[in-house]
Structure 1
Amino acid sequence: MFELSLMCPEDRIEAVSDALDALDALSVSVEDADAQTDAERELFGEPGMPPPKEGWQRSRVVALFASEEAAREAQQLLAVQDFFAGCQVLGVSHVPEQDWVRLTQSQFAPVEITPDFWIVPTWHELPPQALRSIRLDPGLAFGTGTHPTTRMCLRWIARHGAQGTSGSGSNPLGRVLDYGCGSGILAIGAAKFGATDVDAVDIDPAAVDSTVLNAQANEVQLHAGLPDKATGTYQTVLANILATPLRVLAPLLCGHVAPGGNLVLAGILERQASELQEAYAPWVALEVADSEDGWILMTARR
């Protein structure tokens, strides 16, 4: 494969990227040409929010092509276009073949949630100390255990679910709802810690499919579907989304929490704690239960 590298000003990024796509580029990436220098400029803001700009003031655009001929042809066609004014061709270079599967797998190691509870990709051996584990491979749906919000939710599940395995009677997790389930990792974790009835819902059908497959791979029982599959009240309601949708969903999520039940929210930045507390105040009193790398876990008991 061959890559065509270009230098483009901010106002040309979209037109050039669209043209490269039309010229059958296998992929198009944009990066800050001034990265790791004094001229580096922050572009992206809060997770889940649109970027304030289309590109950096000086952006390096890299397009990948199947052959050198295709890359050279794209270079020649772009050079004569009006919208290419102000852009510069940096060159065409060969991209060495790599074992991309092995390279990708090497980036995902087992993740410790607690000393005896781990998230382990299928190509890794279980750590000897892992008394409980979730086998989960990176996929299209969010939730591989590597993000702080996911880890905090799983720590909460492990801490509360373990209480039901110490001879204290019924499992405190009870009936569980994982709202915005992504890969289903939280629902699977709840099932691993003894939850008796688990519903996992998401607006994305691909996430529902991913949850079903991951549940089967982990040999746990749960019900996965679109949000209308969530019915009645639950002893535990989990939602690892982002602050803005969590604010909108406050009445719905609180309506699913049974009296005496637990609400567990993640995807919240530390500075957003007060606005979430205000949004949920008519129903529950949210408190910060955990924090990691600028993210917080907020919980409440109804």
Structure 2
Amino acid sequence: MFELRLLAPEERVEAVSEALDALDALSISVEDADAQTPAEQALFGEPGMPPPKEGWQRSLVVALFAEEKLAREAATLLEPQDFFAGCKLLGIQPVPDQDWVRLTQSQFEPVEITPSFWIVPTWHEPPAAAQEVIRLDPGLAFGTGTHPTTRMCLRWIANHAPRGQRVLDYGCGSGILAIGAAKFGASDIDAVDIDEAAVRSTEDNARANSVTLNAGLPDRAGGKYQTVLANILATPLKVLAPLLAAHVAPGGSLVLAGILSRQADELKAAYAPYCQLQVSDEEDGWILMTAAL
């Protein structure tokens, strides 16, 4: 394979990328050409907030082609185009063969939830101290244990082992919270999500971890549960307040995540008619909120 490298000003990136796609590029990536320099620009806003800018002042555009001939033809066709004004061809070079599977796997290490509870990809051996392990590989659905919201929920589960309880994981993603509940003794678990791919992922991950749960779309959730878990985001959590609170059995626990520290008061107000939420954990600007009903 060969990569074609271009330098493009912010206003040209979209047109150049679309042209490369039409010229049969296998992939196109865009990076800040000024990264690691004093001119570097951050584009990342807080979750749920728009980025401060749509693009970098100067971008490095890298297009991957199956053959050198195709890359050179693309360069020849691009350079005379009006939309290429201000852009610069940096060169064409071969891409060395790599074990892309191994390279991807190397980015995912075991994740510690507690000293004895770990999330471990299937290509790693569990740490010696691990007494409880969830085997989970990166997939299409959210939830690998690397995000603070997932870790906080799992810590809560480990510290409040729901033995014999009926548990609801609402917005289950990969099913990691439902699997965690099963590992710590929950006896009847419903895991629901609006995304059918998440439902399939949850079923696959449950089988891989030898646990039993019921996965499905949200209409599968029914009745009361001793523990209701929802790791989504603040806005849907506010909308879902009456539904989630109604699913919690008397004396049960409501556990909410996907909430930024600055959103705590919003969530407290949304759930005030049903329960009294409190902040139970905090990590990297994210909080876990819980209530006993």
Quickly name the TM-score band, shorter chain normalised.
over 0.9
- With 61-70 and 76-85 compared, the bigger mean Cα shift is at 76-85
SS of structure 2 residue aligned to 1:73:
helix
Matches within 5 A, 1:209-228: 209-228=200-219
Is residue 2:117 matched to residue 1:96? Answer: no
CA displacement at 1:152 relative to structure 2: 0.6
What is the alpha-carbon distance in structure 1 between the residues aligned to residue 242 and residue 15 of structure 2?
Answer: 43
2:132 maps to 132
Is residue 2:242 matched to residue 1:290? Answer: no
CA displacement at 1:54 relative to structure 2: 3.2
The code of the aligned residue for 1:211 comes to: T
Q: List, as ranges, runs of 4+ consecutive aligned residues in structure 1 with deviation greater than 3 Å.
A: 48-54
- With 152-161 and 47-56 compared, the bigger mean Cα shift is at 47-56
SS of structure 2 residue aligned to 1:102:
helix
What is the alpha-carbon distance in structure 1 between the residues aligned to residue 222 and residue 91 of structure 2?
Answer: 58
What is the alpha-carbon distance in structure 1 between the residues aligned to residue 20 and residue 245 of structure 2?
Answer: 47
From 232, 235, 248, the counterpart of 2:226 = 235
From 171, 184, 188, the counterpart of 2:175 = 184
Listed one character per residue, the Cα deviations across residues 14-54 of structure 1 (whole Å, up to 9, x for unaligned) are 22222222222111111111222222222121225554543
What is the alpha-carbon distance in structure 2 between the residues aligned to residue 251 and residue 266 of structure 1?
Answer: 16
SS of structure 1 residue aligned to 2:98:
coil
Matches within 5 A, 1:107-118: 107-118=107-118
Matches within 5 A, 1:49-60: 49-60=49-60
Is residue 2:185 matched to residue 1:194? Answer: yes
What is the alpha-carbon distance in structure 1 between the residues aligned to residue 175 and residue 187 of structure 2?
Answer: 16
Is residue 2:85 matched to residue 1:85? Answer: yes
Distance 1:202 1:131, change over 3 A: same
- With 227-236 and 144-153 compared, the bigger mean Cα shift is at 227-236
What is the alpha-carbon distance in structure 2 between the residues aligned to residue 226 and residue 16 of structure 1?
Answer: 41
Listed one character per residue, the Cα deviations across residues 45-93 of structure 1 (whole Å, up to 9, x for unaligned) are 1225554543212111111111111111111222222222222212112
* Contact 1:14–1:54 under 8 Å retained in 2: no
CA displacement at 1:229 relative to structure 2: 1.4
What is the alpha-carbon distance in structure 2 between the residues aligned to residue 280 and residue 184 of structure 1?
Answer: 25
What is the alpha-carbon distance in structure 2 between the residues aligned to residue 185 and residue 146 of structure 1?
Answer: 11
SS of structure 1 residue aligned to 2:160:
helix
1:271 maps to 262
Distance 1:152 1:198, change over 3 A: same
1:167 maps to none
Listed one character per residue, the Cα deviations across residues 266-291 of structure 1 (whole Å, up to 9, x for unaligned) are 11121221222222222221111111
SS of structure 1 residue aligned to 2:24:
coil
Structure 1 runs not aligned, ≥5 long: 165-170
RMSD across aligned positions (CA)? 1.6
TM-score (norm 1): 0.92
What is the alpha-carbon distance in structure 1 between the residues aligned to residue 208 and residue 290 of structure 2?
Answer: 30
The code of the aligned residue for 1:33 comes to: A
2:120 maps to 120
CA displacement at 1:244 relative to structure 2: 2.1
What is the alpha-carbon distance in structure 2 between the residues aligned to residue 78 and residue 228 of structure 1?
Answer: 52
The code of the aligned residue for 2:257 comes to: A
What is the alpha-carbon distance in structure 1 between the residues aligned to residue 17 and residue 238 of structure 2?
Answer: 35
- With 16-25 and 196-205 compared, the bigger mean Cα shift is at 16-25
What is the alpha-carbon distance in structure 1 between the residues aligned to residue 42 and residue 3 of structure 2?
Answer: 26
Distance 1:229 1:52, change over 3 A: farther
The code of the aligned residue for 1:44 comes to: F
* Contact 1:13–1:54 under 8 Å retained in 2: no
What is the alpha-carbon distance in structure 2 between the residues aligned to residue 16 and residue 75 of structure 1?
Answer: 11
CA displacement at 1:297 relative to structure 2: 0.8
The code of the aligned residue for 2:209 comes to: N
1:168 maps to none
- With 138-147 and 251-260 compared, the bigger mean Cα shift is at 251-260
What is the alpha-carbon distance in structure 2 between the residues aligned to residue 252 and residue 237 of structure 1?
Answer: 11
